[in-house]
Structure 1
Amino acid sequence: MGQDYYAVLGLGRGASTADIQRAYRRLALRTHPLKCREPGAQERFRQLAEAYDVLGDPARKGVYDRFGEEGLKGGIPLGHGDEAAWTAGYVFHNNPDKVFKEFFGGDNPFAEFVAEDGSEVVVPFGGRRGLGVLKRDPPVVRDLHLSLEDLFHGCTKKIKISRRVMNEDGQTSTIRDKILTIDVQPGWRQGTRITFEKEGDQGPNVIPADITFVVQEKPHARFRRAADDLTYVATIPLGKALVGCAVEVRTLDGRLLNIPINDVVHPKYCKVVPGEGMPLLKDPTRRGDLLIRFDICFPKRLPADKKTLLKSALLS
């Protein structure tokens, strides 16, 4: 059996909007974690927030009254037949403080509701929404996963977000999709932040949050990146490490480099190829370096005649 949001607020099914606001105000002030230290108060505070989030919104309340919690959270069909579209299910954002602050306003929820003598100040039902108190939600931060190729060439990413948008009545809201476009610049690094101002959820007397995307580099099959340099690990046999060889490297832009290695390759040896790394953000015509390191394969066994030849060559 689903939750009874009316019971959570201590109300009957015929409760009016004013009854719902009055009940949430009274119970939320009583159970707020800053005021109530009793066991279970925090969960009770969360339940009250979810109940008000549903019953305080006419659209969600209408779905809940008709279809219950299962219909509210699972979605309901918009038409008839097997192919009918369904509404998106409701998901509580699990942030009771957000509901509380949107209702009352202010970071200190009790400072504005207590008089100098300690008595409680009567606030109009619906909280301080009508008093012009604006509250800004904290930024919404999301990861933007990009390949090294994306960061090498630059690209355009289009990301669909779903956000709550206020309706014309100024009290109810609707979930709507929006496409955000990010123009990735060549040379961006891990941790680069792209911010879209005020693209978060809208609400009465709420300044929408900024949405910030943070670049995260996807692992690459051939290269590791450090700042503007790329590192490539070449696997070569011991013989080539001693006498020299050529290493082929396929670059991020598809070219095949043939790098001659004329030095003796020891375990810490590194071949630097200038200008074959990542583009510099301030000047994409310039690039960092390509660093070639080596994984030297030693033979598992050597026949006696080859050991004799090696002794003669290396120990003479």
Structure 2
Amino acid sequence: MGAGDYYKILKVKRDATDEEVKRAYRSLAMKWHPDKNLEDPLRKEESEAKFKQVAEAYNVLSDPKKRQIYDLYGHYPLNSQRFSKEQGYGIMKEAVVVESSLTCTLLELYKGCKKKLKVSRTVPDEFGVPKSVEEILKIDIKPGWKKGTKITFPGKGNQEPGGAATDLIFVLDERPHDIFKRDGNDLVVIQKILLVEALIGKTFNLTTLDGRDLTIQVTDIVRPGFELMVPNEGMPISKEPGKKGNLRIKFDIMFPSRLSTQQKSDIRRILLSDVDY
């Protein structure tokens, strides 16, 4: 920040309203705009300095928080960009990075996709007066990207007069899937199975996340906590093209709600016969 009293620079009183500050700034910005003095180098240099000073003053006085800090502590806290805990302001950043959530389905993260987003941001016009502009941003989601992945668009955030435009960052979020759950690079699915099937085995079809049919054979006894792993049927690994994680099948064993006396007797006879445990 430059030196000087911001109120005197904008030629307003200390109790000036926001509208009075804005009107004063517009008038002075038009007066000292560098493009008005292109033919005279000395005059151009003076205009640039004045214009920068005016924009700096407006940047502070148009922001209620910065204005309050300036009224209480002057230039120092704004220059240092921080305040003591005793002052109760913590750390202040003049160029805040804007982060927005970008939600994708699990299938979009599996296959990859392209998204177009309309964003609105505030930038100064030719006179330094803030205005809103809209832009369409294209985002290329790569197969296998994970929740928390950040996509940065440098200089596509808001811009204050006299300052640089901030970065706009999108943070990937994942919408829960009805059937599959992601665990790192693996996909996890719950398969219901009857108790008798858990004991003698079962063959069933499973539709993958991308719509293919897999034939799954269960030959082992399905005990509590048992998982069947299908290699290379999980999520794509973004840093290792061509490779995927595993598909892990967990089983929900469905026990009968009731057994007859004869059924209990038969089960007891079978299970207590010569069976290796």
Pairwise same-fold verdict (TM > 0.5): yes
1:175 and 1:310 mapped to 2: Cα distance? 75
Going from structure 1 to structure 2, the CA distance change for 1:143 and 1:240 (only over 3 Å counts) comes to same
2:102–2:172: 8 Å Cα contact kept in structure 1? yes
For 1:108, give the aligned amino acid: P
Partner of 2:194: 237
2:267 aligned counterpart, secondary structure: helix
Say whether the 8 Å CA contact 2:104–2:175 is kept in structure 1: yes
Give me the whole-angstrom Cα distance separating, in 1, the residues matched to 2:116 and 2:69: 32
Select which of 169, 187, 190 maps to 1:212. Answer: 169
Relative to structure 1, the CA distance from residue 98 to residue 109 in structure 2 (aligned partners, 3 Å threshold; closer, same or farther) is closer
Query: Aligned with 2:199: secondary structure?
Result: helix
Contact 1:249 1:256 in 2 (8 A): yes
Indicate the SS of the match to 2:78.
coil
- Distance in 2, Cα, partners of 1:262 & 1:160: 53
Higher relative contact order (Cα pairs below 8 Å, separated by 6+ residues):
2
- Mapping for residues 273-284 of structure 1, pairs under 5 Å: 273-284=230-241
- Cα distance in 2 for residues equivalent to 1:238 and 1:140: 53
Q: 2:65 aligns with which of 93, 97, 106?
A: 97
Tell whether the 8 Å contact from 1:102 to 1:204 is kept in structure 2 after alignment: no
> 4+ residue stretches of structure 1 with deviation over 4 A?
98-107
Unpaired segments of 5 or more residues in structure 2?
1-9, 27-62, 82-92
The structure-2 alpha-carbon separation of the partners of 1:136 and 1:307, relative to structure 1 and needing over 3 Å to count, comes to same
Q: Give distance in 2, aligned partners of 1:106 and 1:215.
A: 39
Q: TM-score, normalised by structure 2?
A: 0.70
Measured after TM superposition, the shift of residue 111 of structure 1 is: 7.0
Structure 1-normalised TM-score?
0.62
Question: In structure 1, which of residues 116, 122, 139 is the aligned counterpart of residue 97 of structure 2?
Answer: 139
CA contact (8 A) 2:180 2:209 kept: no
Q: Please show how residues 1-316 of structure 1 align to structure 2 within 5 Å.
A: 18-19=11-12, 22-23=14-15, 52=18, 55-58=20-23, 96-97=64-65, 108-109=77-78, 136-169=94-127, 171-316=128-273
Check the 8 A contact 1:228/1:278 in 2, yes or no.
yes
Q: Equivalent residue of 1:176, what SS?
A: strand
Deviation at 1:101, TM superposition (A): 8.1
The residue identity in structure 2 corresponding to 1:221 is D
- What root-mean-square deviation, in Å, do the aligned CA atoms of Structure 1 and Structure 2 show? 2.9
Q: How many residues align?
A: 215
Closer, same or farther in 2 for the Cα pair 1:110/1:146, shift >3 Å? closer
Q: Deviations over 1:194-228 (max 9, x none)?
A: 11111111221111211111111110111111111
**Percentage of matched positions with identical amino acids:** 37
